[in-house]
Amino acid sequence: MTDSPPTGLSGRRAQAATNDGVILEAARAVFTADPSAPISAVAQHAGVGISALYRRYPGKEDLLRKLAADGLQRFIDELESALADDRDPWTAFADFMRRAVDANTSALTRALAGTFTPTPEMWAGGQRAAELMSDLFERTSKAGALRPGLDVHDLSLIFEQLAAVRAGDEARTHQLRRRYLALFLDAMHETGAEPLPGPAPTWAEINERWAAREA
């Protein structure tokens, strides 16, 4: 579903806003499926002329950065909502996990990491997300609601594993992701379980994928 154009716009500006929503939705679909796809594939998927796309995004990297930045901001918004949730810590944490999986921002991470050069603002946003995630994780852990050995950086790879679950259509994909998320949540909430084997991923390991192809 495309976003509605901002209220108060008319004529060409309203059409441009509508086209931008269509282009971004098409770009998410195209580049999640194939990060190496040309920008012309986005125009074709969106049903707009290539010139209309280039007027808004001069190159593929500009479009990739916009997608990644939007996904990052959505993730930050969900984290802030979770931290503002005054229900018991486990309930707030589990609901955040469900919303984050439904938002599917990790599919973009899996597809786009290392395919473009992030801006300083994006690095700062990533740091902000990491800090908020740590705050949420620490609050949940202090409440005694997480199993021994679980680390905040485990969550990034859990999200990406769930984003890899895809079926024939969007509804079935959503069902399956929720199914496997339920299993992950049960495992994370099993406070009497044995500690997990091996060390958790480090922040450097999570982050290095974004810089891997930068050089």
DSSP characters over 19-68: HHHHHHHHHHHHHHH-TT--HHHHHHHHT--HHHHHHH-SSHHHHHHHHH
- pLDDT score, position 115: 80
Out of 2.30.30, 1.10.3470, 1.10.760, 1.10.10, the CATH code matching 1-58 is 1.10.10
CB of 156 closer than 8 Å to CB of 204:
no
The residue with greater pLDDT, 22 or 18, is 22
- DSSP code of 1? -
Q: Which CATH architecture has domain 64-211?
A: Orthogonal Bundle (1.10)
17-21, 92-96, 99-103, 196-200: range with highest mean pLDDT: 92-96
Residue 1: pLDDT band with limits 50, 70, 90? very low
Confidence tier at 214 by pLDDT (50, 70, 90)? very low
pLDDT for position 215: 40
* pLDDT higher than 60, residue 151: yes
Percent of the chain at pLDDT above 90?
51
CA distance 73 to 126: 9
Q: Determine what percent of the chain is predicted with pLDDT higher than 70.
A: 88
Predicted confidence band of residue 90 (pLDDT cuts 50, 70, 90):
very high
**Per-domain boundaries in the chain:** 1-58, 64-211
Segment 9-17 shows an average pLDDT of: 60
Q: Are 145 and 186 in contact (CB under 8 A)?
A: no
Amino acid identity, residue 207?
N
